[in-house]
Amino acid sequence: MRVTDTTLRDGQQGWRPFSVEEGLKIYEFLLELGGGGAIESTELFLYTSRDRELARKIREYGAENPRPVAWIRASMNDLRLVLEASFDETIILASISDYHIYYKLGTDRRRAFEKYLSVLEEAFRRGIAVRCALEDVTRADFDNNIGPFVEQVIRLSEKYGVPLRFKLSDTLGLGVPFPEVPPPRGIPALIRRLLDLGLSTNQLEFHGHNDFGLVVANHLAAWIYGADYSNCTLFGIGERAGNCPLEVMLVHYVGLTGRANDVNLSILPEVATFFEKMGYRVPEFLPLVGRNAFNTKAGIHIDGLLKNPEIYLPFDPLLVGRRPRIEVNAYGGRAAIVAWIRLNMPELGKGISKDDPRVEEMYREIVRMYEEGGRKEPLSDEELYELALRYFLDENHYS
């Protein structure tokens, strides 16, 4: 199991073009996040002078993880870009569904496959390792489209003795992770059928979209049922509802493999800050990096955190460079006050419990803010500091 990156390809394609400087910084983040082995490669366009300059500078790093890989359409003109840039590995897009063949390309299966195979053979003949991206695979007929085409590509790869991988592109997010669902929409069954054709698990890579909110589930299903590579973008940026978030899959990578040394997730807040400076708005509830990701407001949850943080934290937030945070509102109860003081004013918080009369008075004042003052937002840390100092350190408060 490994992750591959397409932030610099599908990510910028679905959001906005990156400058060379931005692209290099993102690549440096990828080196830090998964350079220990978790992130195998990153995809790069070659179409503009800016794309080619970025590709050239990334290759100058000489890094193996993630190593740069070109991305092109099944076109001889595009293949020339790969040759001119001296890449020894490229992704080649092959639209595989009848929707794409008939309506987008305006041709039939035979002619479409002949075109794809001519470009693929030329790449193999030149010694270029190929990742054949089966676009719109979850709307393609397996028996008439996917299976016959894959078998022909396998024969070409064997003829020239050049490495081959198939990238399964769930272009519209139509895949489902349940093993009972047949291909093409059932991801586990689709992968099993491809393995039955003689492919090995390291020849399969899954690339999902999140149109129906199933992208992480589909990527996990692909991993578990035999596709070694999971193709993602930072924060899931990409076309329409986006791609699979790379940072989330890296957490699952650690959980499934136990290889924590392959990643450095503690830099995620720095990555998020950089993206925000680029104009990306990190959603408040985005896993791992969103402002609310490790915030707790509910009194029941906070009471559990006071007893043992593992009750309401799935893992130590320090793994991803974060700390748990308590936000105090009308629903946090006395536990929220105690937890906030212990977390933010540890010296003051020693020995304080929910039964402390000062906690009770502070709690009642906070409730009045909401019931009588019409407050809606949680109290800020500054407001809570002021209240805590008044109730716990002001000797005249109880006189």
For residue 243, give the DSSP letter: B
CA torsion 67→237→261→27, rounded to 10°?
40
pLDDT for position 348 = 87
- What is the distance between the alpha carbons of residues 330 and 328, in angstroms, rounded to a whole number? 7
Three-state SS at 72: strand
pLDDT for position 218 = 98
Helices (H), the chain: 12-14, 20-34, 49-59, 76-84, 98, 109-125, 147-160, 187-196, 215-225, 246-257, 268-277, 299-307, 333-344, 346-349, 357-371, 381-392
pLDDT for position 84 = 98
- What is the distance between the alpha carbons of residues 229 and 371, in angstroms, rounded to a whole number? 53
pLDDT for position 350 = 85
Three-state SS at 131: strand
Half-sphere exposure of 132 (CA within 13 A, CB side): 30
- What is the distance between the alpha carbons of residues 120 and 349, in angstroms, rounded to a whole number? 67
**Long-range pairs of 17-24 with CB within 8 A, sequence gap ≥ 24:** 17/50, 18/54, 18/278, 19/50, 20/50, 20/53, 20/54, 20/57, 22/278, 23/54, 23/58, 24/54, 24/57, 24/58
CB 236 within 8 A of CB 228: no
In angstroms, what CA-CA distances link 203 with 30, 99, 170, 186?
23, 25, 17, 19
Three-state SS at 278: coil
Say if strands 2-5 and 39-44 run parallel, antiparallel, or are unpaired: parallel
Angle, vertex CA 89, rays to CA 85 and CA 256, nearest 5: 135
| Beta bridge partner(s), residue 209 | 243
H/E segment holding residue 293? none
H/E segment holding residue 95? strand 89-95
- What is the distance between the alpha carbons of residues 223 and 230, in angstroms, rounded to a whole number? 7
pLDDT for position 398 = 39
Specify the amino acid at residue 87.
Answer: F
The number of residues in the chain equals: 399
- What is the distance between the alpha carbons of residues 25 and 31, in angstroms, rounded to a whole number? 10
pLDDT for position 399 = 36
Structural domains present in the chain? 2-277 (3.20.20.70), 295-392 (no CATH)
Peptide linkage before 245 cis (omega within 30 of 0): no
pLDDT for position 393 = 84
Nearest to 223 by CA among 256, 259, 185, 183: 256
CB 365 within 8 A of CB 387: yes
Nearest to 79 by CA among 41, 105, 48, 118: 118
Chunked mean pLDDT (size 10), the chain, 399 residues: 98 97 98 95 98 98 96 98 98 98 98 98 98 98 98 98 98 98 98 98 98 98 98 98 98 97 97 98 97 94 92 95 94 94 90 92 95 93 95 62
Scan for tokens 């540890």, then name that residue: 346
CA-based torsion, 28, 33, 38, 42: positive or negative:
negative
- pTM for the full predicted model: 0.94
User: What token pair was written down for 83?
Assistant: 């040759």
CB 298 within 8 A of CB 332: yes
pLDDT for position 80 = 98
